[in-house]
Amino acid sequence: MRYWLMKSEPYEFHIDDFAALPNQTVAWEGIRNYQARNFMRHQMAISDQVLFYHSCCKDPGIVGIAAVSAAAYPDESQFNSHSKYFDPKVSRENPRWFNVNITLLQRTRLITIKELRQYPELQRMRVLQTGNRLSITPVDPAEWQFIMTLL
């Protein structure tokens, strides 16, 4: 099993939106960064655990725990000319962009980035590194276990 952190801007997709979905499951669509895409396409597997993280907001931080519930498959939005995620260079025979489904397991208290930065155990965590802007990053198992103690 692997561990991940997946960022969402709360004005786009909030933890409350996640909780309100049927089966509390969402297709993680719209990823247009090759490294994040490759994490989904080549490394994520069903049952991998996910830290759901609010970014680009007043208090960014972890707000929930989810699990990968469907392995990577082509992101339908790349084929839809009316979607902001449309990619005119792809075809159904040769898709470029993929998504996974994730299912919310639980909400957590807000663990802010400011709080995460306080712990030496998390100093190497990718979300805390200067210049990291990826919306999907791997989380080391030791970091995951430490974060679970903070809940």
User: Using one digit for the tens of pLDDT, what is the confidence trace for 83-140?
Assistant: 999 999 999 999 999 999 999 999 999 999 999 999 999 999 999 998 888 999 999 9
E strands within the chain?
A: 3-8, 25-27, 49-54, 61-74, 98-112, 136-139
> What pTM was computed for the model?
0.95
Nearest partner of 47 among 8, 7, 3, judged by Cα: 3
Which superfamily is assigned to 3-150 in CATH?
ph1033 like domains (3.10.590.10)
**Predicted confidence (pLDDT) per residue in 46-77, tens digit:** 999 999 999 999 999 999 999 999 999 999 99
d(CA 99, CA 109): 27
d(CA 92, CA 76): 9
Domain boundaries, the chain: 3-150
Bridge-based pairing state of the strands 98-112 and 25-27: antiparallel
